[in-house]
């Protein structure tokens, strides 16, 4: 009886260990949001490069995470990476679609020069039209902004596609610069997205 109990204990321990190993590894918790260490996108495994919280005055607005095929700490290296990429934004408060759209457009204006803004105007207009399709974002909503090499920039809200795919890689890079460019929305958040998780 003791032997079978011992075997049962080992079997249960092995089953528990297998269950734990089968779960996706959680790398960090940022702003109360648990973020996976890796995600699958376009048949590739992307690694969590960095994450942080965007504040407006003293209020938490969202947690944002950057996933890349390999970890990088410099903007130029990130922009040159082949393969898919993901920005994941998890809302920490409710905002209207107008507020979200304005934040994106202001970010693009601040982080891109006039020549880039002119060249990417049609893509920016297409991206901006997406916000008209969304009445607003609620606390807990998840917005993903993915770069898919064979398709373009794809946005999903809680797993459902929003708007059309925007095909130009330069446009996706312009979006990335909102957070990790030379004139980011938040310098501390930029450092976090570039891998300084302290």
pLDDT tens digits, 70-99: 999 999 999 999 999 999 999 999 999 889
What the block records as the tokens of 95 is 């905002």
- Cα 148 to Cα 117: distance, rounded to the nearest angstrom: 22
What is the reported pTM? 0.85
- For 122-183, give the DSSP string: HHHHHHHHHGGG--EE-TT-EEEEEEETTTEEEEEETTEEEEEEE--HHHHHHHHHHHHSSS
pLDDT bracket for residue 3 (50, 70, 90): very low
Q: What is the largest CA-CA distance in the chain?
A: 79
Measure Cα distances from 141 to 83, 97, 100, 137 in Å.
Answer: 26, 13, 13, 6
């Amino acid at each position: 009886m003791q032997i079978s109990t011992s075997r049962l204990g080992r079997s249960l321990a092995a089953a528990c260990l297998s269950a734990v190993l089968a779960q996706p590894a959680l790398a960090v918790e940022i702003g109360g949001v648990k973020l996976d260490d890796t995600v699958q996108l376009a048949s590739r495994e992307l690694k969590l490069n960095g994450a942080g919280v965007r504040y407006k005055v003293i209020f938490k607005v969202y947690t944002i995470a950057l996933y890349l095929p390999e970890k990088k700490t410099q903007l130029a290296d990130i922009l040159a990476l082949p393969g898919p990429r993901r920005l994941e934004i998890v809302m920490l408060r409710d905002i209207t679609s107008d507020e979200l759209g304005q934040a994106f457009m202001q970010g693009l204006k601040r982080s891109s020069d006039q020549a880039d803004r002119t060249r990417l105007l049609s893509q920016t207009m297409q991206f901006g039209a997406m916000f008209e399709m969304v009445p607003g974002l609620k606390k807990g909503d998840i917005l993903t902004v993915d770069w898919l090499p064979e398709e373009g920039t794809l946005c999903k809200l809680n797993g459902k596609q929003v708007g059309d795919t925007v095909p130009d890689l330069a446009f996706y890079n312009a979006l990335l610069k909102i957070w990790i460019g030379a004139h980011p929305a938040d310098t501390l958040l930029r450092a976090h997205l570039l891998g300084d998780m302290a």
